[in-house]
């Protein structure tokens, strides 16, 4: 067990050290993620986002939602909602996304979808880059000759990919929160948990397919085309889960979380098994 | 060889005959549905095609696993033939479903669970066909496609479950008259025969194409290219 961990740490350390010295992937990926968020921001108005501003503007819904609470807080809610129209940030956080849900009904919670676009494209680039490192100078052949189990190579690659995607998420998520005034304050822990679990499954499949297509020519678009349809259950489940959490105040769990966990468990195991069949120098 | 060709001809003649007979039953024998009207007759082809889509997906999965286990090109050819049929039948399901939706709900498309599921399933297997033409080396292509065929099939139940998180208007089960049930059951025969026939034909074509392209040399060439790169 100790030896296994040592091997994983060595292999992951190698990948991350290469990355730290060349900064090939992370710079590219973070800038791509930011660009995606900016492009979406140009096309979508804050009202379409369903969070932040949307919550502040929907004054009527906010008041309705508070009818069960004492009159004082009802007035507070109205006050916050009206000043929300002037786009003060306090008002936006005052009109918690629950208010947006009351009035919105059809209005979704766009934060997850926008972040997913950035994560998916950024992730594909990460998988390509960490695998491309192995193609140079016959590094993959050397790796395959090393006396380690192929499953360990998979776990190490997965770990490197996760670290890099975490770096991407750490920059892109705050940027999106800032630009779109996403209000994640209601349940930041659940948001991080759902996204982290989803990205784990995405990275498992991504690591497998990056190895499968690594020695092919047209890998640029190919990896994205392969990965996106496979990852759709994660996108649907996490968007629906988080929309319900932030719009309707429902706790995460049930079918949505089950799907994400099943995806993670199933594809971690399958990728780990199949990985050694697709590795070829 | 000639008896073989004769058998194939007989098979297709039978398929065409049962297709014609069941189609006649749909229009002459079954009653017109009370609330939806004649458009409900789409159902007789809609459901068998949906079931046959899953059968084709299952064949892709089984052939992919068999390829990864044995590395024999036969399984790759079978998976390819089945993937084409999955896309074909799923396209029929989508198109007939859209026609039906237009008539029943007044809209061509809505993001309800089953419609979304059919669309995602169709996309999943369209991608399978796309990667076949994107990877040059035959041996590499077979591996990538087999891995994809394996993962994609395991993904299908997850996609199905995740779309169930969306609001639904699709009919779950329709009350069927006995004559309708009989016709529906019989309509499975020609559609399934079509599926099997096209699968075998596709497999035969793929086998012959592989034999013609002198696989061994191409494989060596592909491996050389890969080792140089």
Segment A210-252, tens digit of pLDDT: 888 876 665 567 888 889 999 999 999 998 888 888 877 777 7
How many whole angstroms from its chain centre is CA B144?
20
pLDDT of A143 reads 84
**Residues A163 and A180 placed together within one structural domain of the fold:** yes
DSSP letter string, B133-201 = HH--SHHHHHHHHHHHHHHHHHHHHHHHHHHTTS---S-S-----HHHHHHHHHHHHHHHHHHHHHHHH
- The CA distance from B124 to the nearest CA of chain A, in Å, is 6
Give the pLDDT band (50/70/90) at residue B171: low
**pLDDT reported for residue A63:** 36
Residues A246 and A200 both lie in one domain:
yes
Q: What is the dihedral of CA A50, A56, A61, A66, to 10 degrees?
A: 120
| Residue A56 sits in the same domain as residue A137 | no
Check whether residue A38 and residue A152 sit in a common domain: yes
CB pair distance less than 8 Å for A230 and B152: yes
Q: Which residues in chain B have Cβ-Cβ distances shorter than 8 Å to A236?
A: 159, 162-163, 165-166
Residues A169, A248 share a domain = yes
Residues A38 and A61 in one domain: no
DSSP notation for B17-76: HHHHHHHHHHHHTSPPBTTTBGGGGGHHHHHHHHHHHHHHHHHHHHHHHHHHHH--HHHH
Out of A212, A221, A230, whose CB is closest to B155? A230
pLDDT digits (tens, 9 = 90+) for A104-153: 333 456 778 888 999 999 999 999 888 888 887 778 888 888 888 888 99
pTM comes to 0.78
Cβ atoms of A265 and A273 closer than 8 Å = no
Two structure tokens written together for B212: 């013609």
CA distance A277 to chain B (A): 7
Nearest to B110 by CA among A106, A87, A204: A106
Q: Does A124 touch chain B (CB under 8 A)?
A: no
Q: Same structural domain for residues A71 and A134? A: no
DSSP state of A251: P
**Based on the structure, what is the number of domains in chain A?**
2
Could you tell me if A203 and A275 are in contact, meaning their C-beta atoms sit under 8 angstroms apart? no
Residue A135: CB atoms within 10 Å: 15
Domain finish residue from A104, A120, A138? A104
Residues A252 and A140 in one domain: yes
The reply to whether A199 and A174 lie within a common domain is yes
Q: Looking at beta carbons, which residues of chain A come within 8 Å of B137?
A: 215-216
A212 φ/ψ sector (left φ>0, alpha ψ -120 to 50, else beta): alpha
pLDDT in the model for residue B51: 92
How far apart, in Å, do the first and last CA atoms of chain A sit? 28
Q: Give the distance from residue A74's alpha carbon to the nearest chain B alpha carbon, in angstroms.
A: 32
Q: Which of helix, strand or coil describes residue B109?
A: coil
- A17 with A62, same domain: the answer is no
C-alpha to C-alpha distance for B55 and A12, rounded to whole angstroms: 41
Let me know: does A95 contact A83? Beta carbons within 8 Å. no
Decide: helix, strand or coil at residue A70.
Answer: coil
Residues B66-109 have pLDDT tens digits of 999 988 889 999 999 999 999 999 999 999 988 888 888 888 88
pLDDT for position B213 = 76
Query: Which residues of chain B neighbour A266 with C-beta distances below 8 Å?
Result: 154, 158
Report the percent of chain A where pLDDT is more than 90.
27
Domain of A154 in residue numbering reads as 2-43+110-278
Q: Do A230 and B226 touch (CB under 8 A)?
A: no
- Find tokens 């979704």 and name the residue: A108
Q: Are both A74 and A130 inside the same structural domain? A: no
Residues of B in contact with A240 (CB under 8 A): 162, 165-166
Q: Which of A104, A126, A148 is the last residue of a domain?
A: A104
Q: Where are the domains of chain B?
A: 38-169+188-209
Q: How confident is the model at residue A73 (pLDDT cuts 50, 70, 90)?
A: very low
Q: Is the same domain home to A189 and A268? A: yes
């Amino acid at each position: 067990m100790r030896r296994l961990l040592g091997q994983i740490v060595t292999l992951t350390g190698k990948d991350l050290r290469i990355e730290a010295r060349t900064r090939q992937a992370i710079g590219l990926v973070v800038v791509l993620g930011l660009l995606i968020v900016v492009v979406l921001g140009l096309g979508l108005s804050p009202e379409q986002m369903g969070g932040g501003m949307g919550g502040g503007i929907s004054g009527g819904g906010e008041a309705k939602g508070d009818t069960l609470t004492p009159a004082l807080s009802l007035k507070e809610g109205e006050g916050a909602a009206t000043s929300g129209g002037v786009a003060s940030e306090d008002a936006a956080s005052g009109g918690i996304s629950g208010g947006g849900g009351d009035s919105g009904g059809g209005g979704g919670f766009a934060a997850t979808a926008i972040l997913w676009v950035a994560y998916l494209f950024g992730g594909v680039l990460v998988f390509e880059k960490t695998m491309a490192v192995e193609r140079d100078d016959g590094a993959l052949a050397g790796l395959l000759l090393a006396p380690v189990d192929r499953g360990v190579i998979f776990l190490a690659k997965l770990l490197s990919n996760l670290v890099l995607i975490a770096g991407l998420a750490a920059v892109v998520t705050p940027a999106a929160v800032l630009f779109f005034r996403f209000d994640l304050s209601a349940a930041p822990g659940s948001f991080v948990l759902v996204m982290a679990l989803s990205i784990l499954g995405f990275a498992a499949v991504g690591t497998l397919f990056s190895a499968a297509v690594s020695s092919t020519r047209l890998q640029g678009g190919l990896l994205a085309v392969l990965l996106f349809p496979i990852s759709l259950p994660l996108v649907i489940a996490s968007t629906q889960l988080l929309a319900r959490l932030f719009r309707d105040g429902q706790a995460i769990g049930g079918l949505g979380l089950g799907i994400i966990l099943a995806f993670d468990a199933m594809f971690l195991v399958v990728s780990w098994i199949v990985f050694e069949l697709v590795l070829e120098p | 060889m000639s008896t073989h060709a004769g058998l194939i001809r007989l098979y297709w003649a039978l398929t065409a005959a049962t297709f014609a007979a069941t189609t006649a039953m749909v229009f002459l024998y079954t009653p017109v549905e009370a609330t939806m009207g004649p458009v409900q007759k789409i159902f007789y082809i809609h459901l068998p095609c949906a079931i046959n889509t899953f059968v084709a997906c299952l064949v892709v999965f089984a052939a992919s696993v068999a390829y990864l286990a044995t590395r024999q090109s036969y399984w790759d050819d079978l998976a390819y033939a089945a993937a084409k049929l999955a896309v074909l039948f799923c396209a029929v399901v989508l198109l007939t479903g859209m026609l039906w939706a237009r008539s029943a709900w007044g809209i061509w498309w809505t993001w309800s669970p089953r419609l979304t599921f059919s669309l995602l399933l169709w996309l999943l297997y369209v991608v399978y066909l796309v990667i076949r033409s994107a990877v040059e080396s035959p041996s590499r292509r077979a591996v990538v496609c087999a891995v994809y065929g394996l993962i994609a099939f395991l993904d299908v139940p997850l996609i199905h479950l995740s779309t169930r998180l969306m609001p639904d208007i699709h009919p779950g089960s329709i009350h069927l008259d006995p004559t309708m049930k009989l016709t529906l059951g019989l309509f499975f025969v020609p559609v399934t025969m079509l599926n099997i026939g096209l699968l075998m034909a596709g497999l035969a074509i793929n086998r012959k194409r592989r034999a013609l392209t002198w696989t061994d040399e191409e494989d060596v060439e592909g491996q050389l290219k890969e080792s140089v790169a």
